[in-house]
């Protein structure tokens, strides 16, 4: 099986597996679904191919595909990412370990699953030995400890009212935020809908986390609610969201700015080289809308060079529109 077919097989089979009906919780992390050994192996292969791409050993179209597959990994891949960062930390090349650490850090810092945080703290760096990445690994372990303390101070999620009914409307923001990490299916949909009725930075953060769900209907609903939240923001606040540390929030901000045709061309053009494909795609579509449907690129599967070329074209266009 050649590399192209392998990449397609990995993504297709894994995606199909995760979309199946309700999974048992992971015994080490109740907020994550339990995957089969075969699915875990496929995740390991996706991460290993990313490491090859990031160290310059997998080039061209196969390299692009490897990076795209890695970017698509969601929270269910956290155990595999921990295994991956331990492998990458043994390599003298700096980039793969740092990129994986950044992705892991965002996911873990958004989690309220204390068992997952314990699991991560205990396993990040396990068996690695002496490495130039010791500080990166230590920072991740400390972050897990601090996040767990923060979650413990917040208390347990109250998912039912005194009458024994499921009642998201009676939950505090802390409880809703924790429910985003713990609930699945219809209950999670109720939580996302309730978040859509609230206002504030915590709501945006929680919806950003929900938009990363591996359940497609939840992901779509959370993105819709996130767009509504950001549409209500003042222009200067919305502009700041283009720099948010959550990819889903950056993408939503780009979509809203495109709908409103705000004069933020340079900021959108900057996002054409964002590390996450959903952010790049949202910025690209926003620019196309602002240009009345005329597309200056890049293509969806473009590499770094093509993206930079497209940025140059868009900047020239923006200057002709009087942009600064």
How many Å apart are CA 9 and CA 35, to the nearest integer?
17
Backbone angles phi, psi at 300, to 5 degrees: -60, -35
Mean pLDDT score of the chain: 86
How many Å apart are CA 70 and CA 153, to the nearest integer?
33
pLDDT (tens digit per residue) in 192-243: 999 999 999 999 999 998 988 878 899 999 999 999 999 999 999 999 999 9
Containing 33, the helix (H) or strand (E) segment is strand 29-33
Mean pLDDT of all residues in 287-299: 95
pLDDT (tens digit per residue) in 113-154: 899 999 999 999 988 888 888 888 888 998 898 888 888 876
Q: Tell me if 295 sits within 8 A of 286, measured CB to CB.
A: no
Which residues make beta-bridge pairs with 33?
25
Mean pLDDT of all residues in 103-111: 88
Q: For tokens 């970017």, what's the residue?
A: 71
Ramachandran assignment for 322, one of left (phi > 0), alpha (psi -120 to 50 degrees), beta (any other):
left
How many Å apart are CA 41 and CA 49, to the nearest integer?
12
pLDDT of res. 164? 54
Sign of the CA dihedral with 98 first, then 103, 104, and 108 last: positive
Mean pLDDT of all residues in 71-81: 93
């Amino acid at each position: 099986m050649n590399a192209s077919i392998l990449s397609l097989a990995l993504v297709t089979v894994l995606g199909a597996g995760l979309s199946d009906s309700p999974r048992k919780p992971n015994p080490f992390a109740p907020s994550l679904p339990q995957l089969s050994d075969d699915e875990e192996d496929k995740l390991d292969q996706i991460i290993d191919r990313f490491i090859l791409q990031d160290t310059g050993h997998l080039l061209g179209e196969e390299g692009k595909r490897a990076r795209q597959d890695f970017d698509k990994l969601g929270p269910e891949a956290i155990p595999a990412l921990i295994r991956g960062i331990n492998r990458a930390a043994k390599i003298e090349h700096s980039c793969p370990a740092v990129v994986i650490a950044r992705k892991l850090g965002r996911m873990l810092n958004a989690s309220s699953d204390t068992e997952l945080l314990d699991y991560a703290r205990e396993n990040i760096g396990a068996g690695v030995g002496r490495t130039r990445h010791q500080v990166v690994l230590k920072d991740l372990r400390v972050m897990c400890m601090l996040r767990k303390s923060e979650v413990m101070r917040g208390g347990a999620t109250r998912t039912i009212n005194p009458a024994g009914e499921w009642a998201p409307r009676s939950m505090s923001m802390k409880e809703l935020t924790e429910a985003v990490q713990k609930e699945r299916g219809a209950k999670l949909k109720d939580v996302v809908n309730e978040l859509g009725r609230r206002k504030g930075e915590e709501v945006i953060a929680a919806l950003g986390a929900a938009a990363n769900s591996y359940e497609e209907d939840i992901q779509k609903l959370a993105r819709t609610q996130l767009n509504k939240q950001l549409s209500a923001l003042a222009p200067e606040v919305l502009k700041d969201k283009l720099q948010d540390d959550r990819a889903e929030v950056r993408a939503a901000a780009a979509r809203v700015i495109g709908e409103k045709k705000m004069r933020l061309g340079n900021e959108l053009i900057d996002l054409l080289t964002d590390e996450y494909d959903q952010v790049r795609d949202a910025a690209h579509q926003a620019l196309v809308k602002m240009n009345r449907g005329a597309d200056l690129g890049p293509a969806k599967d473009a590499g770094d060079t093509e993206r930079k070329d497209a940025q140059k074209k868009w900047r020239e266009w923006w200057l002709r529109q009087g942009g600064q």
